[in-house]
Chain A
């Protein structure tokens, strides 16, 4: 008997939700609402993926949204001072990568635990952004830059969702097919054993934090383009949501397990809930209550299922031994 994986169950839940919402909520399947959802998913999805890769190693990246803010502000400052678009995007990504390098360096080379390091860098990056912007928002992007977050590809599909899909695929391929990706899971489940099996843990971790920062910078590009500005609290509301999405997506918070598809499903579930409940004219605060309840529900199910499987396995072992 081959049971469904965590991810497939989540996918079914997402599908079920979509069906329920299409029946209940008027206009859920209207092209307006669908494009709406496609515009809203990418920025959050990218940050959630960035969070997931770090959680897989058993860490957490609390500075992820401020990394995005710093990258976004860098892009905005460059552009408003007349630098060309591509150069400023490049600088933004480099700034993001530097943030990731700082996190990676302290976590992997010095060995401080990630929650402390990223808590520190979170405050640090916030401070830098604040002193750069004085708390004001910076805008003044070129017309073509705004297409990244607001434009359609072939007049139909938002460009940003395509960027997201590409990065989701890239993340999936990197994690499952590359040597680095497999080591990421190994480091997450047992760092000491991994070290003794000849893997350079600190190099792997460095890569993880850099990659997380890269995804944050891409999210920053989409956000600044979509909102036509960069500001200190750019996307700050995504910080804990991204942890929630990663965990809902089946990522083990203690590390060692987590799949791109799960996180993507989780992001879709969040989006469907928020859009659907909105169309049903449910107040925002209640949307939060419902989302929280579902999150806890799924986590409990996951936990119960894991316990159940463990017991079954033990029984089987005993049966085999006897």
Chain B
């Protein structure tokens, strides 16, 4: 026991000693940094695109776009990310990319705060840092690529729903992936604004309903909704899963013509429901284009070119740049309908 105490005591002392020395030396870079960012360049720019995770349809699609852009623009694209949506793993991926001496890192953060220290480290090494798909800490990134203008997206979904209902009055409901998902919430706020301003006779039967990003939950909640609101005319479903669950319920009950469903779904998942009308329209952006745009803008960033409002990006279209000069909006959303859903493979 005595020995143990002595060990513990000396340990505590050691730690005390250590912390005393550390504070002053933190920001000074590790010694002997070799020749900065020059090395590892064979003339080609190295652009790293980091998704939230690899191996899901959405990010596979954006990978395709990013790789394609690399080929078209003559830059090396490294598309790598964690195998699960874990912030700690993502930090490691970025640290590894710093070791690889890439020129630009574009990241879709799982957790913005968690990435701030490592992104700062990247900047210290002379690497350009930007975000895509999901905003990171805006004080560290030089460019922020958004797929969509959140408010405009919400408004577009609301308008599409009204159009599919075919009348400007009636009861509707909102399903969402999760109550705390920031992007979903800002879309819903946009949609609500649109309804308040332009369609005052549309009534929401309840507050937004959480579906936990799970299809069976969305399905069950929709069944409950139909039962308790026989006059329901339409459903807006946010998250790529919720519209499918809702459509499944509508399909089963045979209410395709009575209740309109509009949601943010990927075309491949929603095709069977679009075909029989249980899902009226899926609205989302095209993730492959987003990947393409990210790489294109990353190259411009490395070349010192700033994006401009209304700039035409090849294979993507016109982009919108906000007044701060770093927020880029890819463009209007894409509507997936029974006619075109087959053309997309994600």
Contacts and interface: CB of A to CB of B under 8 A. Distances in A.
B26 A147 contact: yes
A158 B239 CA distance: 41
Contacts of A33: 99
B96 A173 contact: no
A162 B18 CA distance: 9
A44 to B, nearest CB: 10
A227 B180 contact: no
B163 interface: no
Contacts, number: 139
A235 B125 contact: no
Given A30-B99, A231-B87, A236-B86, A152 B80 contact: no
Nearest to B46: A281
Contacts of B243: none
B87 A36 contact: no
A135 interface: yes
B80 A150 contact: no
B32 A31 contact: yes
Contact of B88 (A134, A234, A288): A234
B40 A26 contact: yes
B98 interface: yes
A81 interface: no
Interface stretch (A10-18, A136-144, A195-203, A309-317): A136-144
Contacts of B114: 137, 139, 227-229, 231
A5 interface: no
A281 B100 CA distance: 9
B89 A237 contact: yes
B93 to A, nearest CB: 7
26 contacts: A31-B30, A31-B31, A31-B32, A32-B34, A36-B99, A134-B180, A135-B178, A135-B180, A147-B22, A151-B22, A152-B26, A154-B25, A155-B31, A166-B11, A178-B3, A180-B4, A227-B88, A229-B113, A229-B114, A231-B87, A231-B114, A274-B96, A278-B99, A278-B100, A283-B80, A285-B83
Interface of A: 26-27, 30-33, 35-36, 39-40, 43, 134-137, 139, 144, 146-147, 150-156, 159, 162-163, 166, 170, 173-174, 177-178, 180, 223, 226-229, 231, 233-237, 274-275, 278-279, 281, 283-285, 288
